């Protein structure tokens, strides 16, 4: 996949999946703005990504703040002269715990990052470039929207809203802009550390492909969806979870009668 002469904004780009996406886009020839909250993290990300003269910039800000995400889009347009790709990767997963006892302010903050920020960024990209020139958007959701993870009510509910928003944008912005989602399974990122570090081996053993995901696994899927190789794909939710959801479905399926065909008796 070659992307020379294109430009992208990647939110949550200082680590994990966002950093892996930025690296793959740069390797494909695209120019990239990575946005994240921490300046120290952004500086480390720039050092990690290596020299890319004129093709890589970092900008600090809050992915849930409309002013900041619009500034990211404007800076990309000003620096690169275009904005072909948007990757809404930044995510917030607090508060943890049941929905009925969660802190309302933290709940709203989670929705700001996971839903309102992505919409504001796509609006800015549409108004500044994509309405006239086209483009491609990928939102990073979660395989949890296909089930229920204990303690993840705010995170999974907001990501479910983001997935539905993705589908609406795919319908509204076609045919100029394609909009798709990637739903990662359990990936070894800092955001998910509390979930996987307690029993990484056990969790991997329960996955058909016998390992947890790495940020690069998700980055490959994101960049494919952005690229012209996915030119007839929009409104899709690409599940990248090592088969965990398939296994969950198998465990939930009722057994067939012993020695039978599984057909309903007459």
Q: What pLDDT, in 10s, does the model give residues 166-199?
A: 999 999 999 999 999 999 988 888 777 766 677 7
pTM recorded for the entire structure: 0.91
Q: Which residue among 72, 129, 155, 195 is the active-site one?
A: 155
Q: What is the mean pLDDT of residues 45-67?
A: 96
- Nearest CA-CA partner of 55 in 5, 14, 16, 15: 5
In a domain, residue 266? The reply is no
Helix H or strand E encompassing 9: strand 7-11
Show the domain range for 121.
7-250
Total domains in the chain come to 1
Confidence label for 248 from pLDDT (cuts 50, 70 and 90): low
50 lies in some domain: yes
pLDDT at position 194: 67
C-alpha 28/C-alpha 192 separation (Å) is 28
Residue 130 has pLDDT above 80, yes or no: yes
Residue 179 lies in a domain: yes
Give me the CATH number covering residue 142: 3.40.50.720
pLDDT at 255 over 60: no
In a domain, 180, yes or no: yes
| Average pLDDT of the residues of the chain | 90
pLDDT over 90 at 24, yes or no: yes
Q: Residue 1: CA atoms inside 13 Å, Cβ hemisphere, count?
A: 20
Annotated catalytic residue 155: yes
Evaluate whether residue 1 is within a structural domain: no
Among 181, 113, 101, 112, smallest CA distance to 146 is for: 181
Tell me which DSSP letter residue 55 carries: T
């Amino acid at each position: 996949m070659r992307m020379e002469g294109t430009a992208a904004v990647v939110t949550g780009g200082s680590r994990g999946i966002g950093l892996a996406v930025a690296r793959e886009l740069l390797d494909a020839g695209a120019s990239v703005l990575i946005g994240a909250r921490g300046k120290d993290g952004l500086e480390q990300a720039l050092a990690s990504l290596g020299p890319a003269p004129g093709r890589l910039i970092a900008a600090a800000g809050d992915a849930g703040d409309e002013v900041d995400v619009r500034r990211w889009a404007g800076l990309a347009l000003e620096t690169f002269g275009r904005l072909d790709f948007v990757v809404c990767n930044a995510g917030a997963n607090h508060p943890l715990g049941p929905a009925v006892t969660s802190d309302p302010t933290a709940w709203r903050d989670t929705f700001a990052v996971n839903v309102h920020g992505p919409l504001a960024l796509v609006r800015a990209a549409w108004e500044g470039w994509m309405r006239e020139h086209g483009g491609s958007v990928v939102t990073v959701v979660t395989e949890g929207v296909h089930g229920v993870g204990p303690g993840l009510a705010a995170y999974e509910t907001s990501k479910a809203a983001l997935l539905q928003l993705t589908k609406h944008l795919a319908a509204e912005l076609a045919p100029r802009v394609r909009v798709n989602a990637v739903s990662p399974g359990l990936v070894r990122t800092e955001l998910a550390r509390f979930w996987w570090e307690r029993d990484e081996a056990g969790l991997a053993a329960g996955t058909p492909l016998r390992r947890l995901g790495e940020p690069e696994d998700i980055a490959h899927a994101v960049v494919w969806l952005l690229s012209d190789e996915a030119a007839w794909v929009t409104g899709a939710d690409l599940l990248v979870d090592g088969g965990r959801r398939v296994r969950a479905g198998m465990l939930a399926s009722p057994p067939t009668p012993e020695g039978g065909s599984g057909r309903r008796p007459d």
